[in-house]
Amino acid sequence: MNTKQNKELEKLRQEMRRGVIVLATLSQLEEEQYGYSLINDLNEQGFEVGQDTLYPLLRRLEKQELLDSEWRVEDPRPRRYYVLNQTGQELLKELKAAWKEQVEVIKEIIK
């Protein structure tokens, strides 16, 4: 592939990631986490995400009333912890099912 095609591929991969970032984030918040630990958690599992994307997304999800958050002062400084609330848990369950269904469909299509 030439440079232009590589760029196009990278762009499409980013779009794919953007499509599932909400699912990936919600799936890691069944137990509470703060932003930095969540970024590390996702990156270690192979899902690349930066602070510039994650922190605004967490705020958006909280405004959509899917997450609860609180500041907690733990040594050596305060951190904001996020966790799924009841609505978020129900939505995550539905999203997971929809995702699995999509994966099966796509598997069939591209086989």
Distance between CA atoms of 107 and 111, rounded to whole angstroms? Answer: 6
- When the beta carbons of 34 and 47 are compared against other proteins, the nearer one is 34
Asked if residue 100 binds other proteins (CB under 8 A), the reply is no
Quote the least distance from Cβ 51 to other proteins, whole Å. 5
Region from 23-31, 33-41, 88-96, 99-107 binding other proteins, contact rule CB under 8 A: 33-41
Concatenate the DSSP letters of all residues of 52-91 into one string: HHHHHHHHHHHHTTSEEEEEEEETTEEEEEEEE-HHHHHH
Minimum CB distance to other proteins smaller for 77 or for 111: 77
Q: How many residues does the chain have?
A: 111
State the sign of the Cα–Cα–Cα–Cα dihedral 7, 13, 16, 20: negative
Asked if 56 interacts with other proteins (CB under 8 A), we say: yes
Residues that bind other proteins (CB under 8 A): 7, 11, 14, 34-37, 51-53, 55-56, 59, 71, 76-80
